């Protein structure tokens, strides 16, 4: 089975409270209800390597296929949930690959 991985790293604004960091993670959890998602995880960084370059939230979504990713990006649920927390984002990295 071919899947499309959608990796997203979020750098939050300096001074974002722990409560707001958790709100970001909790809100992003709602994305897993979007059709076409086969696997989903999101969480706060706890690496001890010191190589996160300030990115504090990681999310991995495994889509069934490219069409599912293509439908996810403009979906109302995606736009709505990201819109609820994007004020906390200082930077975002997105990487997609097929395997």
pLDDT band at 1 (very low <50, low <70, confident <90, very high): confident
Number of structural domains (the chain) is: 1
**CA-based nearest residue to 24, from 8, 48, 4:** 8
Over residues 34-43, the mean pLDDT reads 97
Strand order in the sheet with 55-63: 37-44, 55-63, 4-12, 89-98
Task: Find the DSSP H helices in the chain.
Answer: 18-29, 66-72, 76-85
- Tokens coding 87: 């004020």
Domain that holds residue 23: 4-98
pTM as predicted: 0.95
CATH code for the domain in which residue 30 is found: 3.30.70.100
pLDDT, tens only, 43-82: 999 999 999 999 999 999 999 999 999 999 999 999 999 9
Percent of the chain whose pLDDT exceeds 90: 98
């Amino acid at each position: 089975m071919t899947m499309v991985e959608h990796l997203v790293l979020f750098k939050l604004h300096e001074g974002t409270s722990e409560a707001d960091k958790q709100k970001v993670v909790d809100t992003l959890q709602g994305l897993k209800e979007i059709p076409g998602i086969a696997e989903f995880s999101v969480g706060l960084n706890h690496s001890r390597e010191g190589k996160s370059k300030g990115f504090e939230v990681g999310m991995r979504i495994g889509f069934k296929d490219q069409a599912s990713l293509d439908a996810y990006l403009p979906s109302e649920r995606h736009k709505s949930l990201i819109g609820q927390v994007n004020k906390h984002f200082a930077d975002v990295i997105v990487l997609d690959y097929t395997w």
